[in-house]
Each structure stands twice: as C-alpha cells, then as structure tokens.
Structure 1
Amino acid sequence: MFDTNPMAGTLLTASPTLSRPPAVVRTGPFAGQVAIVTGSESGIGRETARALCENGAAVVLNGRNAERLEQTRLAFAQAGLAVASCQADVTDYADCERLIDTAIREFGQLNILITNASISMRAYFADMQPEVFRQVLDSNVYGTVYPLKAALPHLTKTRGSVTFISSISALNGMPSGSAYCAGKAAVANLAHTLRLELDHTGIHFGVVHIGFTQNDADKRVLDAAGRPVPIAHRPPRWQKSQGQVAGIILKHIRRRRQRTVISALGRLIVLIHTYLPRLGDWVVLTTIRRLRHFYE
C-alpha cells in the first residue's frame, strides 16, 4: 500500500552514514529540530524527510537497501539539506539503537520520530503462509515499537513528537490485507495508549491514516507465499501524490494532532464504521463480488 519497498535488499546490520549539514542557517517551522523518518530511502518516507529538511529540520534517513539509501542521502546533501543516514532493519532492536545513536551523534538531539517503514501484502488469510503473516505484522508493530523504545529517553528530553504512519485500512478491515490491517490498527491503538501512559512527559503521540497514494514504480508487496508482487490497482483519481501526503504529515506534526485521516474516502470510512457498521460491511462484501480485482 503506502510503505517503503519491503523487498529492497536483505536485512543487514545497521550501518550509519553521516553527512555533516551545510554551514547555512536553517529556517522554517522545523528549524533547530532533528527528525528520524524510518523507511525514508524511497516513497512517502523519502518525501516526508525531504519536506522536513526543506522546512528547516535536520533529518536522519533510514532504510534497508544500502544503494538506494545512499542515493537518497546524496540527493538531499547535494540540494544543501541537513541530512544523515543509517541503514537499519527496524524489526531489530539493536539496529534501532544504532539508528537513534546516529541522530544523537550527528545532530545532538532528537525532536521528531516518524515510524513509516513497514511491509504490505496482497493475499487472502486462508492462503497465507504463517511466516508471511508474521513478517508483515512484525514490520508494522515491532517496526514501530523498537524505534520508539530506543528513542524515548531522547524524545522525553525535548518533549518531542512521535507520529505513527497507519492506513485507512486500519479503520475498517480490508479483504486480502489481514496482517497489514491488523498491524496498522495495532499502532493506532498503541498511540492512544502511550498518549495516556506518557502524558506527563509532554511528548506528542499521533497517528496518520494514509489513503491511496501514488507509489514508486518498483513498489512491491508480499503475496501469500511471501513473493514480491505489484500492489493492487487503484484508480489514479483516487490517489494523492507523495508530496501531498508529506505535506499533510508535516501539518499533523506542527499542530501536534492526535489523529489525521487522509482523503475523503478515509473520513467516510470513519463515519460509516462509527455510525453504520453494517452498511460498511455490505459495501465491502458487494465490492468483493463486483470488483474483485480491487483487492487482488
């Protein structure tokens, strides 16, 4: 759906690549702040990181594909943006510790954490191999928990901001997306729980439910056997650009919102799921029969 390329390389030990920011005064609403965006070597994560940099922040990029990560870092650095990078698997806690250490060592603090990296899928539950379900769920849940756990002491010092990237599919179940929906719903509930539990820290905990978004051409998700396949077809008129989504995420952070639902479809899902859940189920069941390709 809306995540970084899940199959871009094998899982490797974290390897920070540092790039000192240019000797220029950074201005903008995020000036003086330091951000980490997981899964920012490509896609929405990359454009969110770019928008943060262009609005004054220093940003640590993250991904698993060393070549793609370095290409993104170089492009940002050549544009005069304050950037560093760390190759890390966010489902490995030791890697996440190195990722956070990169931000502290390079920029001295951490103000913003955006947990964007995850794996998506296209497979019906009855057909899925258990290991594939676990892989998708782990990427969404532990890929959110581990970076936050490692970053929490530093975010407490700055009374920082945490944004979990979820999906409109977490608002109401989506056929052929069982593990993905479960993982995205879990992080939304996690944000609510932490908002209550850690209220005394002053940290902002928010969740952004992303809708249909234009993807990189090589974007892949997992099928029932764990093979990379293209995402399901989405009409272009339903899709927002990655830049538009990044802009909405930045507005969410600036206003320290608890929840942002992107797209009219997402807001409609919230409305129907809250007040007319049976109607919502009827709509989904009808589309399965009449528009099966939408899910497959």
Structure 2
Amino acid sequence: MRDTALPSAASRSTTKQMVARPPSDGGSGSFMGKVAIVTGSESGIGRETARLLCQQGSAVVLNGRMAERLAQTHQEFEQAGYTVVSCVADVTDFTSCEALVDTAIQAFGQIDILITNASISQRAYFADMAPDVFRQVLDSNVYGAVYPLKAALPYLIQTRGSVTFISSISALNGMPSGSAYCAGKAAISNLAHTLRLELNHTGIHVGVVHIGFTQNDADKRVLDADGQPVPIAHRPPRWQKSQAEVASIILGHIRRRRQRTVISALGRLIVLVHTYLPRLGDWIVLTTIRRLRHFYE
C-alpha cells in the first residue's frame, strides 16, 4: 500500500488566516496541545463534545451548516476563553470538507482528532419515503463521515491521530421508521472496521461510538417521508443521557483509542440479543411497534 502524500495547505483554497497555535502547556487537560475537528458542532452532542475538548486543552474547529447558530456557538466558546475557529461547511460536499480541513491547518498547523458527528435522522417508514429523502439521509450519514476523513487523512497520518465515527445503537439492530438512518450508521461501522485494517501501518486510531437515546436541543428536527423537518420521536426521559454525559464517553473512547464503544445499557443489551438471540430481538421490536407506535412515530 502506498503512503498518502501530505498536501500543501498553500496549494488549496483556505478560509482562515493564521490565528493561533494550540495550547501546549500551562494546563491540566488530557487533550492539551491537540487540535480537533468536530463536525456538526454548532449544536447538540457535537457542541458539547467540542466544549469538553476545549476544557481539556484542545484547540477546536467548530463546524455546521447554519451560519448564525455556528456564530453563536463560536462566540460563546470565545467568551469562555476557549481556543476555537469555525467553518461553515456541508460535510456531504467534498470541496467544503477540504475548506474545513484548510481552516484547521491555517489556524493551528495540525490535526490530531476528527470526530464525524454531523448527520441527519428521520421519522418515516420506507414505503412512504420519497427516494430523494432516503438519499439525503443516507448521504449525510455516509458521505458526511467519508468526506471529512478523506480530506483530513494526510494530516492525521502525520500526527498518528484519531478519527471517531459517531454511529448509533440503531446500527446494531434495525429500527422501524429509520431505514436510511440505520443503513447509514451501519455502513460507517463497517467502514471503521475496514479502515482499521487498511490503515493499521499508519498508527491512526479508527473508532466508532454507538450513541443511544440522548437529550436533544428543544428545536431538534428530523426529516419526515417528504423531507419536511419534524420533531424527533418520543423517548422516555429516564432512558436518555445528557449531551454532556455522551460527550464525556466520546472523549474517554478517544483517550483509550478504543475500536468500539456502545453507550447505554440498552445499547449493550441490543448487542447481546442481536448476537445471540436475534429472533427474540425481532419479536421485541415487532411487539413495541404494535403497543408503542408513538415510540417510532
């Protein structure tokens, strides 16, 4: 396998001028001196993961598609004294991902950590979904992980860094009304395994985190069958972890350079049942569809 050449940042379009260097001393954080890109960090789990990275000494590149919300998060982080830059970029567009990576290199000169968190979810049964909506959800979950890594890979090889794909417990066993989302999250789990083998000689850490039910921002929306934004399906609060708890688990996964982390007791139960008692798992899901349709719809 041939080595991946390191491109010159000067030879590619950039979006930021040199603004800072990552903190290298004077702090107690376990990620001191590291530079991280967190996609989809304008809000939600991505924002809280970026916040915790900053608190533990990282310089962070914030990312999102909504310029106003991203600017608000950036301002909040700067006021807290964190070392951050931001880049509006659609991670399903490779050119935008190149600009995102260029932002990190121009600002901080290196990339140590990539967390591919940005994605779109859904609330729609397969038979009802418009084909373009299925593709949109699938693209956000697959290419939204592939393109940022493809752009950042040469720099991660240089630092023997870490990439973590954010997947879901939905990838471990099919979830009705989530066909495209489940397919995309399962795809990046297998992608992580494949890349771990291909890139073993580089020293890069390739991991995947399967997130369970998590508290969402009040304005969190997913796509319905026609591609319209709708509130996320009902989840009992007692089943949900906070965004800060999930962020802490993600950082622990990166720190230990783990291959796979499954969040929540429910997620670990799904792994157990799906592996050893798949017919029981299907029976449980089919029963909940009949008795708890609001859980999916």
TM-score over 0.5 for the pair: yes
In structure 2, the residue matched to 1:193 is: 194
In structure 1, the residue matched to 2:116 is: 115
Structure 2 CA distance for aligned equivalents of residues 22 and 187 of structure 1: 29
8 Å Cα contact 2:145-2:188 kept in structure 1: yes
The Cα offsets for residues 148-167 of structure 1, whole Å up to 9 and x where unpaired, read as 00000000000000000000
Structure 1 residues 219-238: aligned runs within 5 Å: 219-238=220-239
Structure 1 CA distance for aligned equivalents of residues 263 and 227 of structure 2: 29
Structure 2 CA distance for aligned equivalents of residues 20 and 70 of structure 1: 18
> Helix, strand or coil: the match of 2:29?
coil
Name the aligned partner's letter for residue 124 of structure 1: Y
Q: Quickly say closer, same or farther: Cα 1:152–1:96, change in 2 above 3 A.
A: same
In structure 1, the residue matched to 2:44 is: 43
8 Å Cα contact 1:17-1:86 kept in structure 2: no
Where do 5+ consecutive residues of structure 1 fail to align? 1-13
The Cα offsets for residues 219-257 of structure 1, whole Å up to 9 and x where unpaired, read as 000000000000000000000000000000000000000
TM-fit CA distance, 1:20: 4.0
In structure 1, the residue matched to 2:10 is: none
Q: Quickly say closer, same or farther: Cα 1:38–1:22, change in 2 above 3 A.
A: closer
In structure 2, the residue matched to 1:105 is: 106
8 Å Cα contact 1:61-1:85 kept in structure 2: yes
Where do 5+ consecutive residues of structure 2 fail to align? 1-13
In structure 1, the residue matched to 2:211 is: 210
Q: Quickly say closer, same or farther: Cα 1:125–1:16, change in 2 above 3 A.
A: farther
Structure 2 CA distance for aligned equivalents of residues 15 and 211 of structure 1: 35
Structure 2 CA distance for aligned equivalents of residues 208 and 168 of structure 1: 9
8 Å Cα contact 1:221-1:230 kept in structure 2: yes
Q: Quickly say closer, same or farther: Cα 1:236–1:88, change in 2 above 3 A.
A: same
> Helix, strand or coil: the match of 1:162?
strand
In structure 2, the residue matched to 1:293 is: 294
Structure 1 CA distance for aligned equivalents of residues 19 and 28 of structure 2: 19
Name the aligned partner's letter for residue 193 of structure 1: T
In structure 1, the residue matched to 2:58 is: 57
The Cα offsets for residues 103-136 of structure 1, whole Å up to 9 and x where unpaired, read as 1110110000000000000000000000000000
Name the aligned partner's letter for residue 42 of structure 2: E
In structure 2, the residue matched to 1:28 is: 29
Instruction: State the TM-score, normalized to the length of structure 1.
Output: 0.93
Between 14-23 and 89-98, the greater mean CA deviation after superposition: 14-23
Q: Which runs of 4+ in 1 moved over 2 A?
A: 14-27
In structure 2, the residue matched to 1:131 is: 132
Q: Does 1:257 align with 2:258?
A: yes
Aligned residues: 284
In structure 1, the residue matched to 2:277 is: 276
Q: Quickly say closer, same or farther: Cα 1:66–1:169, change in 2 above 3 A.
A: same
Higher RCO (Cα < 8 Å, 6 or more apart): 1
TM-fit CA distance, 1:62: 0.2
Instruction: State the TM-score, normalized to the length of structure 2.
Output: 0.93
> Helix, strand or coil: the match of 2:103?
helix
8 Å Cα contact 2:21-2:107 kept in structure 1: no
Structure 2 CA distance for aligned equivalents of residues 252 and 131 of structure 1: 34
Q: Cα RMSD (Å) of the superposition?
A: 1.7
In structure 2, the residue matched to 1:157 is: 158
Q: Quickly say closer, same or farther: Cα 1:17–1:115, change in 2 above 3 A.
A: farther
Name the aligned partner's letter for residue 238 of structure 2: R
8 Å Cα contact 1:122-1:222 kept in structure 2: yes
> Helix, strand or coil: the match of 1:184?
helix
8 Å Cα contact 1:18-1:85 kept in structure 2: no
> Helix, strand or coil: the match of 2:85?
strand
